[in-house]
Chains A and B, each alone.
Chain A
Amino acid sequence: AQKVTQAQTEISVVEKEDVTLDCVYETRDTTYYLFWYKQPPSGELVFLIRRNSFDEQNEISGRYSWNFQKSTSSFNFTITASQVVDSAVYFCALRNYGNNRLAFGKGNQVVVIP
């Protein structure tokens, strides 16, 4: 079984503020993969990052950073110095090794106010 929880539904921030999106997952497998996707208003989900269960190294890509902690089953996403273009729905997802299916969280609607 695999499950992803994104507790916050909508988050509003003023431009240039930081915003952190929480993702908590559940799985019985030892090998799994975690993903973040962005869905802008145009509708198409855009892949942002993946992490495998053996790689707990945090990652930074420009203003985006990810914090993976197996001890708390969390894979949190931070946008630093937010911009209006960051306004979107962000989904966290989990895929167990050997399983074709992705389990998605319900998504975080981020609204960046200019």
Chain B
Amino acid sequence: DVKVTQSSRYLVKRTGEKVFLECVQDMDHENMFWYRQDPGLGLRLIYFSYDVKMKEKGDIPEGYSVSREKKERFSLILESASTNQTSMYLCASSDSISYNEQFFGPGTRLTVL
């Protein structure tokens, strides 16, 4: 059973804290993605990576950074969390074939106080 896992389902942090969200996939996929989901705004792409150590900005990269040191792991970093980063964060992975779908993790609901 193929899987994308995320390190936490729920996370509560304080303003100014550094936050790490981890994502691991076991499908040997080249591509990995971080989205945030907010009511009325749908899914918005923060960053994605198409190979180890490679990354590209998505639509809303401000306030975030990412790290991909190993193929199966993609980390999202909030350097200094702010209340407007309270959201649901979804990780996904896919292979490099355009036809194939992305597989999603269960999501991390982050609350920044």
Contact = CB atoms under 8 A, between A and B. Distances in A.
Interface residues of B, number: 26
B98 A95 contact: yes
B98 A101 contact: no
Contacts of A37: 104
Interface string A102-114: 1011110000000
A85 to B, nearest CB: 18
Interface string B54-66: 0000100000000
B42 A100 contact: no
A96 B15 CA distance: 38
A45 B90 contact: yes
A95 to B, nearest CB: 6
Contacts of A107: 42-43
A96 B99 CA distance: 9
Interface string A74-109: 000000000000000001000111111110111100
Interface string A10-54: 000000000000000000000001010100001111110010100
The size bracket of the interface on A is: 20 to 34
A100 B104 contact: no
A47 B107 contact: no
Contact of B48 (A46, A52, A101): A101
A50 B101 CA distance: 8
Interface in B48-104: 48, 50, 58, 88, 90, 92, 94, 96, 98-104
Nearest to B101: A47
B48 A105 contact: no
Nearest to A100: B31
Interface of A: 9, 33, 35, 37, 42-47, 50, 52, 91, 95-102, 104-107
6 contacts: A42-B106, A44-B107, A52-B99, A91-B42, A95-B98, A102-B102
